[in-house]
Structure 1
């Protein structure tokens, strides 16, 4: 599984994603520009010692990532999604794409995705924390793979 963070801005969210990816065996892809240095101490603190256990790739832009992963299906996580995240039959090489904390995903990237997925929230709420959203969706993909 691929977890793709498009231009993340808050170091602890990325650190939490690093820890998650290390624990479930997913590859974390970071699309530049980042809102912090990958060596930011707040990100390291959130990721603890898991950075060495996680597979992390950095990309100059989304197009570069996409060219390298043209065979992967992409599921764009957005509050504008039309398919609930747990209604997809995921495959091992699928990618979950998440936008930055303040702007979400650009419409153009959502339009290019195989599907726009959403996590249910109570009516009137604006958004969920990025690292929590990554964890919820990633665990569904992993669950469908019988936690292999």
Structure 2
């Protein structure tokens, strides 16, 4: 299972997702451009020494990323979807895609996704933190596919 971040803007969020990937055994794809320099100290500070335990792939853009996914399903997490990840059937080779913090993904990217899911939350709030959303999504996907680390 992989986590993909579309044009992430906050270094600390990327660091937290890298740490999540390291702990849970999920590779992380970073779709550029990013809103910060890759060598930003905040990435390493948040990821700590876990960054050496996660497979990271950087892609020049969405098309370059799409060329790497083969037959895997691209599952977009978006506030615009209706289906919950808790009623969705994940597969072990799914790629969980998250949009940029300020704007999500453009319509063309959303249209290119195989599935669209929305993490249920109270209607009074707009969205969760990117890293928190990724943790909830990955945890459910791994639970369903019985691929949780020991």
Shared fold per TM-score greater than 0.5: yes
> Per-residue CA shift, 1:14-59, capped at 9, x if unaligned?
0000000001110100000011122211111100001111100000
SS of residue in 1 equivalent to 2:104: coil
Alignment correspondent of 2:76: 76
- Superposition pairs for residues 103-114 of structure 1, below 5 Å? 103-114=103-114
SS for the counterpart of 1:75 is strand
- 1:10 equivalent to 2:30? Answer no
TM-score normalized with structure 1 length: 0.96
Q: CA RMSD in A?
A: 1.0
For structure 1, the residue ranges without an aligned partner over 5 or more in a row are: none
Q: Which runs of 5+ in 2 are unaligned?
A: none
- Asked if structure 2 preserves the Cα contact closer than 8 Å seen for 1:83 and 1:115, the reply is no
**Structure 1 segment 22-37 matched on structure 2, within 5 A:** 22-37=22-37
Please identify runs of 4+ aligned residues in structure 1 that moved more than 3 A.
Answer: none
Q: How far apart in 2 are the matches of 1:115 and 1:145?
A: 17
